[in-house]
């Protein structure tokens, strides 16, 4: 994790979680410039501008630490957008934990692998591109467009990894399978091997393909 210090806000960057969605360099090039070293300059914009663009980072690789004490609120209700040919884009009060219940991530934004190829499972590391993973889904990483209806104390959405199997979800969420209207869901088992015929849900195919993941 790298930290770039600024007058109105510090910016943290976790390169492991960055899959080059490029929302930052498109949204605020004065601050985020991949051709400059260092590539992040928090002095290039106000804390409000930085926070607004950082919130668009769909993987949670970027975070802003405002000097005025303002903090990013988890959007509610939680949303899961099934990425076209890509990961599950999750927003909300998100907790990702391993089979023992140990936390892997606690964040407002995460990208979860659903192709089965990430080296950082259950988080996406962009491996779906090299794997040429294809599956229908949303074109947008945030089809709910940051909808915040209950910003105070939203319910947590927890993902629990099953060894060699799916992600078990606890909590309520809006599921965007495509760019049309989302469905309301509660709980479920989401495929992370890439082989289900009922994506994004698990249909047991992980056994047939001998999926291996902790």
In the bound complex, what is the minimum distance in angstroms from residue 193's beta carbon to ligand FES?
Answer: 3
Residues of this chain that interact with ligand FES (CB under 6 A) are: 165-166, 191-193, 195-196, 202-206
Minimal distance in Å, beta carbon 115 to ligand FES? 10
Closest to ligand FES by CB, 143 or 166: 166
Question: To the nearest whole angstrom, how small is the minimum distance from the Cβ of residue 161 to ligand FES?
Answer: 10
Query: 71: Cβ–Cβ under 8 A, 6 or more apart, which residues?
Result: none
Q: Are the beta carbons of 87 and 124 closer than 8 angstroms?
A: yes
Please, are residues 70 and 51 in contact by the beta-carbon 8 Å criterion? yes
Nearer to ligand FES, 154 or 166 (CB): 166
Nearer to ligand FES, 35 or 132 (CB): 132
Whether the CB-CB separation of 177 and 82 falls below 8 Å is answered with yes
CB of 199 to ligand FES, least distance (A): 8
The two tokens of residue 70 are 């303002």
Q: In terms of CB distance, is 6 or 166 closer to ligand FES?
A: 166
Q: Is 172 helix (H, G, I), strand (E, B) or coil?
A: strand
Q: Whole-angstrom Cα distance, residue 149 to residue 75? A: 8
């Amino acid at each position: 994790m790298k930290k770039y210090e600024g007058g109105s806000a510090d910016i943290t960057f976790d390169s492991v979680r960055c899959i080059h969605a490029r929302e930052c360099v498109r949204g605020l090039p004065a601050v985020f410039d991949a051709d400059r070293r260092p590539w992040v300059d928090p002095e290039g914009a106000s804390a409000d501008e930085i926070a607004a663009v950082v919130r668009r980072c769909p993987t949670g690789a970027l975070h802003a630490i405002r000097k005025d004490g303002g903090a990013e609120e988890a959007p509610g209700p939680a949303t899961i957008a099934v990425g076209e040919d890509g990961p599950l884009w999750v927003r909300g009060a998100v907790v990702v934990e391993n089979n023992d219940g140990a936390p892997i991530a606690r964040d407002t934004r995460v990208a979860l692998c659903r192709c089965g190829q990430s080296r950082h499972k259950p988080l996406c590391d962009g491996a779906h591109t090299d794997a040429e993973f294809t599956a229908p889904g949303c074109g947008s990483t945030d089809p709910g467009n940051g909808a915040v209806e209950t910003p105070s104390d939203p319910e947590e959405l927890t993902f629990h990894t099953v060894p060699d199997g799916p992600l078990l979800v606890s909590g309520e969420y809006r599921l965007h399978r495509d760019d049309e209207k989302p469905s309301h869901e509660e709980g479920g088992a989401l495929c992370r091997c890439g082989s289900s015929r009922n994506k994004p849900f698990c249909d047991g195919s992980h056994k047939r393909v001998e999926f291996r993941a902790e």
